[in-house]
Structure 1
Amino acid sequence: MKKAVVIGGGVAGLATTALLLRDGYEVHLVEQNEQLGGRAGTIELDGFRWDTGPSWYLMPDAMSHFFQLCGTTIEEHLDLVPLEPAYRVIDEHNERVDVISDIDVMAELFESREPGAGAKLRAYIDSATKVYNLAVDGFLYTNFTNFIPYLSPGVLRLLPQLLASLSTSLKVKVNAQFRDAKLRQILSYPAVFLSSDPSTTPALYHLMSHTDLVQGVHYPRGGFTAFIKALISLIDDAVLHLGTPVTAITTNGRNATGVQVGSEFIDADIVVSCADQHHTETQLLPAALRTKPEKTWQHKQPGLSTVLVLAGVKGELPELLHHTLLFSSDWDDDFRTVFEGFHADFPASESIYISKTSATDTDVAPDGHENLFILVPVPADTSIGHGSAYGEESELVGRIAAAAIDQIGRWAGIDDFQERIVAQRTIGPADFADRYNSWSGGSIGPSHTLAQSAFFRGSNKSRKVDGLYYAGATTVPGVGVPMCLISAENVLKRLHGDKSVGPTQI
């Protein structure tokens, strides 16, 4: 039996452990925090329970495929609730637009706001669906070790469209087709799920609109806490090392031999680091064995960070749906603030996201109360500070949280919103750095710019250390829960010498 050490107990670490166990490995999973789940954690206070990370359940096909790969089904583990409307958009004038995962309904909405936009939306979504299917079949479940499949007639037929989508930005693609500001925002905002600015995100990623407008938005009852529990149920045979930071990846020449944890050594035939790749490369490896030394990160984009506000509110909040987005009219200024360092004195976006899980789960808040997860995009900058969830809140994180609460009250028309908050905790960029070793305190992962997408994002295998592999949001194929599951499968493909593209046949 071969032995593997997996570093990091987040989604990618749990998924990698599950697949390696099923493949016959003895697996030691090492996690520096006391709980598994990584960013997909949970906090409880005064009868409220908040997920602290992922909240949008997208790409259900990728989710289902992973559990089938593990010999089970998603339905055996999760109760998935379709959300209709999928989400609500509110602006500073309290104008509300509800987004429905139905193309006919959305085409009518687009047409009502801009003559001719309904037909344009249908063409846009048709393109998004084709590109999404192409990505799944050829660009996500692969290590780019075999380029012959990309010479197939299907890919060559779409090549002009692909090249055009790579040579322009999502912002340009959307703005060229639609004039209405709200419609532009609805189609551009998915870039944030990619930790990216629409102006630097390749138009190829308009495929994201397929995930919410065609596949639909779901919620696993129990939240992503339930999803993490489902993953944990797949790794009963793993040896867990919790509260155990890895201090070094050990080597013999160019071969990985295990990991150092304090004064102890865990030997292994292979090491899979699901930790932040910047941390892995610059802190866990000796300088001579770093594929990506510090200097190679200087011109990379770490993506966005966030100030998270976990709020327990007395009384009902019908103004907010399960998912609600506040879209500022200063849209471009918001992205410059987050990605270009504008407004350093108050580096927070006014385009924020709110998840009211109490709309779907009755046990996340006391009777007569609501549970809110508020996400404020900020730059990936640890100097913004810590929140109150794990220690002392910085002055700036406190100001950003207060401003977001005030904004929600004004924009959503909840006059006494601040006074109704009975429980609150915050999380800041420094918390992401401390708890997850995230590069620059980023909360999602490196942006999906052209230079950081597909095979440009890097390899999931070290070029200098044999037996060292990478999985998670900071490597291929990218950020988000589904991508982390796919990254685990790609490690298994790499180990098997499987050069196929597309999901593993089950």
Structure 2
Amino acid sequence: MSARRAVVVGGGIAGLATAALLARDEWDVTVLEARDELGGRAGSWERDGFRFDTGPSWYLMPEVFDHFFRLLGTTADRELELVPLDPAYRVYSDPTTRLPPLDVRSGRANAAALFESVEPGAGARLGSYLDSAADAYDLAVTRFLYDTYETTSGLRDPALLRRVPRLAPLLTRSLARHVESRFADPRLRQILEYPAVFLGGSPYGVPSLYHLMSHLDLDEHVLYPRGGFTEVVRAVARLAEASGVRVETGSRVTRILTEAGRATGVELAGGRRIVADLVVSGADLHATETTLLPRELQTYPESWWRSRTPSPGALLLMLGVEGALPQLAHHTLLFAREWRGNFRDIFGRHRRIPDPASLYVCRPSATDAGVAPPGHENLFVLVPVPADPGLGRGGVDGRGDAAVEAAADRVIAQLSAWCGIADLADRIVVRRTVAPGDFAADLGAWRGNALGLAHTLGQSAMFRPRNASRRVEGLAYVGASTLPGIGLPMCLISAELVVKRLRGDRTPGPLPETVRV
């Protein structure tokens, strides 16, 4: 009997993870990536001895990575060199506040001591906050994230129903309201509210259930995979290919082939066709639905997307800098005084690039000498901006659209002023910008968003797009806009959900790890 054949569209982390898991289940798998490199949003760019991650840079939810690698018969420690970060991150406030930077160190005792030093009584309140965050995180992992929602049995579990009185308020109030009823100092509020951005939303729009994110950076440790996040992509690709997966780059899929309501393969640019029993799309969900399928076979047509909320777009700066930058930790956050106004600029009716912006800076050269030439530093800067390709495209050496480069100049000036790096602009020897227009053109991202569908209440858990088409049998979806959501760990889980469906596993938890290592 011949092996079942699967085609995976897209060589991002979700597509590669799905391919690896399918191959372990004895599928014959081909991955087709339109670009010349793998990784998708988790890509890499090199120039003049600098190597930049172009996407994810926070290694959180380590147990999800551990579980995934064990499903493939190995471990995260075997495949990656993981380095704990201390401090986990540094926070700068608007200089008009005259407040010193804060170093946030992971671990309950460290976090409580920091909060208490800023606001008397906040340390004890943080303890109960993190107890609740840990409980919510456990609930998410054991009940929500690994559920395909093919049935409601997981939601009707008596153990879950007993927690409804505690759960309901977390779903009906915003993260900002949850935090601000407990803490008064604006810096502490910002530390607890900023994780909403990692979920593609605003603290004023995501439900307070997502305070669980603070369990990850304050209770647990923030790690860094030496070599950067491209090493995570390489590890998954390596394991997939070792299991027999064929990976083809430069292979753009233009159509999903169907017959009698069933996926039968794909057609590539140039007319080549590949026959398959299963098609898995890890491409942008909007692009998959609206460009690869005819209207009558779309589960999520254009009309569906009109009422949905994208994550923010992003203005990215990749800067190679001469000399040392001790003012910056591996992870540094700059928080604007006009906090609510920043989010209104991004998500409100009159959208614009915030100025000054709340932004994130990664300095991997603080931990990893291999990402920059000797005597230089590597900076990756992310500025949340509206999801709007009309904001323009970036470029190398200032050759992006004028508005994008002007915004990048303002960000560099802000970094210089807020962090005390007076000559920063003069020390930049490599510069590249990326903007929402690039996300739309290069990744097919809906409205140029940077992360996927935002985690609003109506776009989370059972309300998020499922991992299988309702109109086309044998067509599955993975990635940041499907279950369970945004981020590398979520993409690994989305791959597992495809396999769970194929196996007929409707339990709410992760797959059993049959191989122990």
- TM-score calculated relative to the size of structure 2: 0.96
Match of 2:73 in 1: 71
Letter in 1 for 2:175: L
Residue pair 1:7, 1:29 contacting (<8 A) in 2 also: yes
Moved more, 133-142 or 334-343: 334-343
- Give the ranges of 4+ consecutive aligned residues of structure 1 lying more than 6 Å apart after TM superposition: none
2:510 matched residue in structure 1: 503
Alignment gaps of 5+ in structure 1: none
Rounded Cα–Cα distance in structure 2 between residues aligned with 1:490 and 1:52: 26
CA distance in structure 2 between the aligned counterparts of 1:119 and 1:471, rounded to whole angstroms: 41
| In structure 1, C-alpha distance between the alignment counterparts of 2:313 and 2:45, rounded to whole Å | 19
Tell me which of 278, 291, 296 is aligned to 1:288: 296
Equivalent in the alignment of 2:160: 155
Q: CA deviation at 1:348?
A: 5.7
Compared with structure 1, are the counterparts of its residues 87 and 70 closer, same or farther at alpha carbon in structure 2 (3 Å cutoff)? same
- The alignment covers a number of residue pairs equal to 505
Q: SS of 1:150's equivalent?
A: coil
8 A contact 2:397–2:431 mirrored in 1: no
1:436 Cα shift? 1.1
Q: Pick one of 23, 26, 48 that aligns with 1:24.
A: 26
Counterpart of 1:107 (choices 84, 101, 112) is 112
Match of 2:448 in 1: 441
Q: Distance in 2 between matches of 1:397 and 1:90?
A: 24
1:466 and 2:473 equivalent? yes
> How far apart, CA to CA, are the structure 2 residues paired with 1:343 and 1:25?
46
* Counterpart-to-counterpart distance in 2, 1:484 and 1:406: 35
Report if the CA contact (8 A) 1:322-1:356 is conserved: yes
Alignment of 1:352-363 (within 5 A): 352-363=359-370
Match of 1:371 in 2: 378
Contact 1:347 1:379 in 2 (8 A): no
1:406-445 equivalences in 2 (<5 Å) = 406-445=413-452
Q: Matched residues in 2 for 1:487 and 1:292: separation? A: 18
Give the conservation status (yes or no) of the 8 Å contact 1:335–1:349: no
Residues 341, 379 of structure 1: 8 Å contact kept: no
**Mapped partners of 2:348, 2:164: distance in 1:** 32
Q: Tell me if the contact between 1:314 and 1:370 (Cα under 8 Å) persists in the aligned partners.
A: yes
Structure 2: which 5+ residue stretches go unaligned?
none
Residue 511 of structure 2 aligns to a residue whose secondary structure is coil
Structure 1 residues 438-461: Cα deviation after superposition (integer angstroms, max 9, x where no partner): 000111111000000001012111
1:343 shift after superposition = 5.2
Q: Which residue of 2 aligns with 1:479?
A: 486
Tell me by how many angstroms 1:245 deviates: 1.2
Return the alpha-carbon distance in structure 1 between the equivalents of residues 145 and 374 of structure 2: 43
In structure 2, what is the Cα distance between the partners aligned to 1:275 and 1:334?
30
Amino acid at match of 1:325: L
Task: Specify whether residues 253 and 130 from structure 1 end up closer, same or farther in structure 2 by C-alpha distance, changes over 3 A only.
Answer: same
The match for 1:86 is 88
Structure 1 match to 2:309: 301
- Separation of aligned partners in 2, 1:291 and 1:196: 24
- 1:267 aligns to what? 275
- Structure 2 residue 408 is the aligned partner of structure 1 residue 401: yes
Specify the SS of the correspondent of 2:370. Answer: coil
Q: What amino acid is aligned across from residue 94 of structure 2 in structure 1? A: E
Question: Deviation string for 1:111-141 (max 9, x for gaps)?
Answer: 2222221111000000000110111001001
Contact kept? 2:397, 2:430, Cα under 8 Å: no
Q: Is the 8 A contact 1:385 1:397 kept in 2?
A: yes
Map 1:14-413; keep pairs closer than 5 Å.
14-93=16-95, 95-236=100-241, 237-262=244-269, 263-342=271-350, 344=352, 346-347=353-354, 350-389=357-396, 392-413=399-420
Rounded to whole Å, the distance in 1 between the matches of 2:92 and 2:101 is 5
CA distance in 2, matches of 1:277, 1:152: 31
Residues 375-415 of structure 1: per-residue CA shift (max 9 Å, x gap)? 11111100111111599511111011111100000000111
Amino acid at match of 2:53: D
Match of 2:5?
3
Q: Deviations for 1:56-107, whole angstroms, at most 9, x for unmatched residues?
A: 0000000110000111111111010000110000012262011111111211
Query: How far 1:351 moved relative to its partner?
Result: 0.4
Q: 1:187 to 1:2 in 2, by over 3 A?
A: same
C-alpha deviation, 1:364, in angstroms: 1.0
Kept in 2, the 8 Å contact 1:386–1:397? The answer is: yes
Q: Deviation string for 1:14-53 (max 9, x for gaps)?
A: 1001001111011110111011111111111111111111
Instruction: Give me the CA root mean square deviation.
Output: 1.3
Q: Kindly provide the amino acid, as one letter, of the partner of residue 201 in structure 1.
A: V
Deviation string 1:220-260 (CA, Å, 9 cap, x unpaired) is: 00010111111111121222221111111110021001111
SS of residue in 2 equivalent to 1:247: strand
- Matched residue type, 1:27: V
Give SS of 2:467's match.
coil
Partner secondary structure for residue 501 of structure 2: helix
| SS at structure 2 position matched to 1:213 | helix
State the Cα distance separating 1:152 from its structure 2 match: 3.6
Q: In the alignment, residue 71 of structure 2 is paired with which amino acid?
A: L
> Offset at 1:144?
1.3
- Measure the CA separation in 2 of the matches of 1:424 and 1:272: 36
| CA distance 1:377–1:110, shift in 2 (3 Å) | same
Q: Which moved more, 1:463-472 or 1:334-343?
A: 334-343
In 2, distance between residues paired with 1:412 and 1:37? Answer: 32
Residues 301 and 269 (structure 1), Cα distance of their counterparts in 2 relative to 1, 3 Å cut: same
Give the letter aligned to residue 291 of structure 1. T
CA offset at residue 423 of structure 1? 1.1
Q: CA deviation at 1:145?
A: 2.3
Structure 2 match to 1:12: 14
Q: CA shift at 1:340, angstroms? A: 1.5
| More displaced 10-residue stretch of structure 1: 477-486 or 434-443 | 434-443
**Mapped partners of 1:341, 1:44: distance in 2:** 38
